[in-house]
Amino acid sequence: MDKILVSKNELREDDLINDYLMEMVKKLDQKVISARRNVEINGILSPFYLDLEKEIRLIFIYEEQTLTYLNSHKENIKKIKELRRKDVKIILLVSEMSQLDLNKVLNLCESKIIPNVSITKGEVKSVSACKELEIHGYQGWILKDFEE
């Protein structure tokens, strides 16, 4: 029997994060130093924090208010980089691509050049000209409505 799949709006934050982690681990080329959920680092509350050998990844779910929050904390993000002497990368997880406002997303970047990118579901993209940012389009479905 085929799986019964949940609709997109039933996805929880945890599901998106685990989907990202599954994909991330496949391509991982560094040691994981630390991994924590709901961590406050330098005044920034992150749903998932990954301290890797060469970089720190702060993982967020894409939402309008997340962008506002991150934009208001850009200085704190820069300070993490200075304090930890590692690159800091913001990972935005998105399940619905049509929600994505790329212009607003790019405000998070150092560079203001708007690249010509199109991101579809199931893709993980680093935005060119913006090495601090990676957008992860949700790859799969979590089984939450189960078969009887």
Between CA 16 and CA 21, with CA 19 as vertex, the angle to 5 degrees is 110
For residues 108 and 69, is the Cβ–Cβ distance under 8 A? no
Residue 31 binds to another protein (criterion: CB under 8 A): yes
Rg for the chain, CA atoms, rounded: 16
In the bound state with another protein, the residue whose beta carbon lies nearer, of 23 and 129, is: 23
Segment contacting another protein by CB under 8 A, of 26-34, 74-82, 99-107, 110-118: 26-34
Segment contacting another protein by CB under 8 A, of 21-29, 76-84, 109-117, 122-130: 21-29
In the bound state with another protein, the residue whose beta carbon lies nearer, of 39 and 97, is: 39
Task: Enumerate residues 39-78 that contact another protein by CB under 8 A.
Answer: none
Residue 83 binds to another protein (criterion: CB under 8 A): no
Residue 34 binds to another protein (criterion: CB under 8 A): yes
From CA 18, how far away is CA 39, in angstroms rounded?
16
| Cβ atoms within 10 Å of 22's Cβ, excluding its own | 11
Distances 69 to 32, 65, 72, 77, 131 between C-alpha atoms, Å: 26, 6, 5, 11, 20
CB of residue 112 to another protein, shortest distance in Å: 34
Binding residues vs another protein (CB under 8 A) = 1, 3, 14-15, 18-19, 21-22, 25-26, 28-37, 139-144, 146-148
